[in-house]
């Protein structure tokens, strides 16, 4: 690194971890820009290696000349997405959970996402996984005593009994973490709200009213929304992904029928289902949601029927056009999202990868627990506990790091 500094900033040595104002020069000695350069000496840097940071003025011409000058130096090239964090992981500066938290923090759009990512970045979540692992390592050594000294009276059975309690406790803790997994995943990737209802009920208008802009096409021609249209919104600090769907109706049109099928599939898997109907649509007939049961029902277009009386108390009377009644709907949606979200920063499972690791650990522990109670050979019980330890270790990146590096860093942005 000192050689890169010498080639671009001159012979005068850079101070360590202090900003220095220098002239950046190309290979011919021509000045390219005035820069603030900061030299981080290994191992006290983000990646654990020597690092040199330049603060250029930016601008197309400066960046082009400066990059050209740097790339011409031996051993230098452009960084791939997540290249710095990958190096930090390989140098043991960050574990996998912390590396993922870097990506989540960079991509955080809402306060809830930021808080969750930051608590994961601080190592708090890794500590929980490590604590789980440590308890299991202890249980494993107790069981291994039984494997090593099988013939020594009841030496085998006592340590095994000692292992049963921590295994059971941990299995319960993992179960609790899995039960709240949906909340952590939901904060990270957003709460999915699907809007369903008959054609022309005002689904697209409602989506536009929520978004505060025109994201969906509004027409009085039924059947215009044929695919699922997703909009991301920040609702009181929580990311929500609101999906407008094709109007639910029997149709001979193949494309529209596929839209209806997709709407039904989405309705089955979303976090909050909002059903909307036109309050003037055949009074007394009530809403028809094709057998689906929305969490929230909106009776829309109340501006056309002032003093609407036939709306039941669970239904929100709204006008997507005038905005009447929408505040109450937003308040109800926020309440539901906050109810499912974890208390800030408490989530230990925020990605599918963590969910799979914890599920695998729990299954292995259940096998170990039932093996112990059946009096199964300690070798087999020990193997199940080892699998659980491995699964938890893979979440943090204590084992099998190389296997997951590719998929984790492919989603990173360049420069991190
Ligand atoms: P979608 O097919 O369910 O998505 O319905 P749209 O949002 O496209 O609306 C269908 C028609 O109803 C359009 O002409 C809208 O302008 C109209 N519309 C939607 N909401 C309201 C409302 O609250 N009041 C009135 N008067 N018209 C509305």
Instruction: Using most ligand atoms within 8 A of CB, pick from 208, 290, 320, 325 the residue to mutate for ligand 1.
Output: 320
| The pLDDT value given to residue 315 | 84
The finding on whether 247 has its CB within 6 A of some atom of ligand 1 is yes
The dihedral of CA 26, 27, 30, 34: what is its sign?
A: positive
Q: Does residue 391 have its Cβ closer than 6 Å to ligand 1? A: no
Q: Is 220 touching ligand 1 by the criterion CB < 6 Å?
A: yes
pLDDT of residue 60: 94
Q: Is 38 close to ligand 1, i.e. is its CB under 6 Å away?
A: no
Short-list 294, 318, 325, CA closest to 201: 318
Provide the b/e sequence for 93-106 (b: ≥16 CB within 10 Å). Answer: bbbbbbbbbbbbbe
Please, what is the Cα angle at 194 between 193 and 200, to 5 degrees? Answer: 135
Please report the pLDDT score of residue 397 as a whole number: 87
Which pLDDT value is given to residue 156? 46
- Residues 267 and 296: their CA atoms lie apart, in Å, by 12
pTM above 0.85, yes or no: no
Ligand 1 center–CA 316 separation, angstroms: 16
pLDDT of residue 155: 43
Residues 348, 125 contacting (CB under 8 angstroms): yes
Identify the CA nearest to 263 among candidates 299, 223, 235: 223
Residues of the chain with pLDDT under 70: 1-2, 147-159, 213-227, 282-286, 307-314, 340-346, 400-401, 403-404
Q: Is the CB of 297 under 6 A from ligand 1?
A: no
- Report the atom number in ligand 1 closest to the C-alpha of 320: 23
Instruction: Verify whether ligand 1 is closer than 6 Å to residue 245 (CB atom).
Output: no
Supply the pLDDT for residue 306: 72
């Amino acid at each position: 690194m000192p050689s890169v500094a010498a080639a671009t900033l001159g012979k005068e040595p850079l101070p360590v971890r202090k900003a220095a104002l220098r002239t950046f020069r190309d290979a011919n000695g021509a000045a390219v820009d005035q820069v603030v350069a900061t030299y981080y000496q290994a191992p006290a840097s983000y990646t654990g290696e020597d690092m040199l940071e330049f603060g250029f003025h930016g601008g197309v011409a400066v960046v082009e000349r400066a990059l050209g000058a740097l790339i011409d130096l031996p051993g230098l090239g452009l960084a791939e997405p997540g290249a710095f964090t990958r190096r930090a992981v390989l140098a043991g500066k960050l574990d996998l959970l912390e590396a993922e938290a870097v990506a989540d923090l960079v991509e955080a759009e809402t306060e809830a996402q930021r808080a969750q990512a930051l608590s994961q970045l601080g190592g708090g979540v890794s500590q929980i996984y490590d604590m789980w692992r440590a308890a299991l390592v202890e249980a494993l050594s107790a069981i291994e005593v039984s494997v090593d000294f099988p013939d020594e009276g009841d030496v085998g059975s006592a340590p095994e009994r000692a292992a049963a309690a921590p295994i059971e406790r941990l299995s319960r803790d993992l179960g609790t973490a899995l039960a709240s997994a949906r909340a952590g995943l939901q904060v990270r990737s957003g709460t999915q709200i699907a809007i369903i209802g008959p054609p022309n009920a005002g689904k697209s208008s409602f989506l536009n009213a929520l978004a505060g802009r025109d994201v969906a096409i509004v027409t009085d021609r039924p059947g215009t929304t044929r695919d699922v249209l997703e909009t991301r919104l920040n609702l009181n600090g929580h990311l929500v992904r609101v999906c407008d769907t094709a109007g639910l109706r029997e149709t001979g049109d193949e494309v529209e029928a596929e839209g209806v099928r997709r709407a039904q599939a989405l309705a089955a898997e979303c976090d909050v289902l909002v059903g909307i109907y036109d309050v003037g649509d055949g009074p007394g007939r009530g809403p028809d949601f094709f057998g689906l049961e929305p969490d929230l029902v909106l009776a829309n277009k109340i501006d056309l029927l002032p003093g609407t009386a036939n709306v039941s108390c669970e239904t929100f009377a709204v006008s997507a056009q005038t905005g009447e009644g929408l505040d109450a709907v937003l308040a109800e949606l926020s309440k539901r999202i906050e109810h499912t979200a974890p208390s800030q920063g408490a989530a230990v499972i925020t990605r599918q990868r963590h969910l799979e690791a914890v599920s695998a650990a729990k299954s292995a522990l259940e096998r170990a627990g039932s093996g112990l109670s059946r009096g199964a050979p300690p070798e087999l019980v020990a193997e199940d506990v080892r699998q659980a330890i491995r699964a938890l270790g893979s979440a943090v990146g204590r084992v099998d790091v190389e296997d997951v590096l590719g998929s984790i860093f492919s989603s990173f942005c360049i420069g991190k």
